[in-house]
Structure 1
């Protein structure tokens, strides 16, 4: 398994005082360096995380999950870490699943390993599950391969590879953008099964607002060019009416 000293943990947080202490203490049993990015919280998330043993970086105002991840991953890279695990601050990810992600990278050499919740998807609230699966279908179609859980925030990321990518989103669409960027750079991606922990309180995700933002991002992607079409000599092109009448049924 990857050496724990080579891997940081990055936890983006916004008002997670109810869960952050337990989470940080549990993660530190697996990986000693935990970096909490407090994304403009109005509660005592930052002080509780620090008391539990985390290094805390604060945003003065809420900038979004993508921005918080960028802050945390950049800090981990500057401190000399080769890898970083990201997980959500609300306690939905089980720290005991961390070794599965580390083994996945060590055994395959893959530079992005994602925790897949879909084997236990019934524990995810119905609306959120439907939205996640719809997004995963869209991204799978674009990638040309099955991507079972594109919205999972529980990931193991090779930091220098991540830093070489061009990523721009600052909100929840960051998971999708990162995944496609790794694939576009011809890096393989692995999914490993993880458990799902039911939330004890509502998510910070806003289904309508965040889904619309994701859709706007999706529609703005540069579409891949169409493959070249060989046209036989004397045969009308597909744009011509004669072709449509003769060959399209």
Structure 2
């Protein structure tokens, strides 16, 4: 049986991360929370739940948290990683679907249902735009490249060379994996946007970072 690591990148989600961990029906010693320099009690809450916690001393970015988790997975012999947001946006009950899908793909992305009614307008526009650009760069038709709910095989992690550290890392790994010939699939997921879950995306700065990444990818 293949060995999976459940990875939660976390930043200032102290009131939420405990509930997310409780809902993950998987051995706690195979759940890793990367506390990305939180200024609240995120790390303490996670440790109290008996999971593994690695802490960044400063906020390095979601992509950097992923890379820390990926290094841990490779070092400890995991076959694949399932990433899930720590703010309760993703339903942990969907993890078995990712475990099944990763038997057929090298990377599986959770595809959200985009609706003007249940998703903030800015997110809908950003998701549609970035998915279009990444689809062009990767040569694959993908509908939700910003979804943080994924399963990624170690073979992918070991081959890609990630240069970014923020939100654009989630797009970067797709483009590199596709260009290396890895199989990428999507499965539908449900999403909950909680009022108490504050987005850490800066619309201007993170858009500029994505544009820089997209332009640089043209020459890679």
- In the superposition, the TM-score normalised over structure 2's length comes to 0.93
The verdict on how the C-alpha distance between 1:9 and 1:43 changes in structure 2, with shifts beyond 3 A counting, is same
Q: Secondary structure at the match of 1:179?
A: helix
- Decide which of 170, 177, 185 is 1:175's aligned counterpart: 170
For residues 61-119 of structure 1, what are the alpha-carbon distances to aligned partners after superposition, in whole Å with 9 as ceiling and x for unaligned? 0111111111111112211211110011111011011111111122x2x1101100036
> Is 2:127 the partner of 1:118?
no
Given the alignment of the two structures, is residue 129 of structure 1 paired with residue 124 of structure 2, yes or no?
A: yes
Instruction: Confirm whether residue 10 of structure 1 aligns to residue 7 of structure 2.
Output: yes
Any idea what SS the aligned residue of 1:10 has?
A: strand
Using the alignment, how far apart are the partners of 1:158 and 1:144 within structure 2?
Answer: 20
| Unpaired segments ≥5 residues, structure 1 | 225-249
Secondary structure in structure 1 of the residue aligned to 2:14: coil
The alignment status of 1:80 with 2:81, answered yes or no, reads no
- Deviation string for 1:5-58 (max 9, x for gaps)? 61011111111101110011111x145411000010011100100111211000
SS across alignment from 2:102: helix
Q: Determine the C-alpha separation between the residues in 2 that align with 1:144 and 1:155.
A: 19
Shift of 1:221: 1.8
Counterpart in the other structure of 1:247: none
Q: How does 1:149-164 map to 2 (within 5 A)?
A: 149-164=144-159
Secondary structure, counterpart of 2:20 in structure 1: helix
Going from structure 1 to structure 2, the CA distance change for 1:104 and 1:48 (only over 3 Å counts) comes to: same
Alpha carbons of structure 1 residues 122 and 194: separation in structure 2 relative to 1, 3 Å: farther
Contact 2:106–2:184 (CA<8 Å) still a contact in 1?
A: yes
- Tell me which residue corresponds to 2:136: 141
Q: How far off its partner does 1:121 sit?
A: 6.9
CA contact (8 A) 2:63 2:164 kept: yes
Shift of 1:160: 3.1
Alpha-carbon distance in structure 1 between the residues aligned to 2:116 and 2:92: 18
- Give the alignment partner of residue 200 of structure 1, picking from 192, 195, 200: 195
| TM-score (structure 1 length as normaliser) | 0.83
Match of 2:214 in 1: 218
Q: 1:145, CA displacement in angstroms?
A: 2.9
Q: Secondary structure at the match of 2:124?
A: helix
Q: Which residue of 1 aligns with 2:60?
A: 63
Contact 2:114–2:124 under 8 Å retained in 1 = no
Gaps of 5+ in 2: none
Count of matched residue positions in the alignment of Structure 1 and Structure 2: 218
Between the aligned partners of 2:219 and 2:114, the Cα distance in structure 1 is 31
- Residue 22 (structure 1) aligns with: 19
CA RMSD across the alignment: 1.6
Where 2:178 maps in the other structure, the secondary structure is helix
